[in-house]
């Protein structure tokens, strides 16, 4: 399906004198792991900026075990107390309190700890 859409977009671009549309590059497994590792580091390091919420959504969707991880709980605990208003027009803490409550349902010994070096690169590692 993607190739059909890409071909259609190329025809439209040619018709309107726009540069050719190319499909997005395909990332190797190593490149994906590196990108997710960077996101994990950024979600922990960022303060109360709204980018944390966006990174959290991507990691929750794409990284198995992140939704109930130690790192996500630490971020949720820190941000659930925030009174600042984020880019989405809501108090930052209002978004993170339910996240904290959801992660808290998972026992501590069942949470993955992505802070451990190599954890994301070795998903079969025993915790």
Residues 6+ apart with CB under 8 A from 96: 75, 76, 79, 80, 82
Q: Domain-by-domain residue ranges, the chain?
A: 27-110
> In Å, what is the CA distance from 99 to each residue of 38, 47, 53, 57, 95?
21, 17, 11, 11, 7
- pTM summary value: 0.62
3-class state of residue 122 by DSSP: coil
Give per-10-residue mean pLDDT for the chain (127 aa). Answer: 50 60 71 78 70 86 89 89 78 89 93 68 44
Per-residue model confidence (pLDDT) at position 12: 58
Assigned token pair, 98: 């339910």
């Amino acid at each position: 399906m993607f190739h059909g859409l890409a071909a259609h977009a190329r025809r439209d671009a040619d018709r309107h004198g726009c540069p050719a549309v190319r499909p997005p590059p395909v990332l190797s497994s190593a490149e994906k792991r590196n990108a997710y590792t960077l996101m994990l580091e950024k979600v922990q390091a960022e303060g109360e900026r709204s980018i944390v919420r966006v990174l959290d959504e991507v990691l929750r969707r794409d990284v198995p075990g992140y939704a109930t991880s130690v790192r996500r709980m630490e971020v949720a605990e820190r941000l659930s107390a925030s009174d600042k208003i984020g880019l989405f027009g809501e108090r930052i803490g209002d978004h993170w309190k339910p996240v904290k409550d959801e992660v808290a349902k998972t026992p501590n010994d069942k949470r993955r700890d992505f802070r451990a070096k190599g954890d994301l690169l070795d998903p079969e590692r025993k915790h």
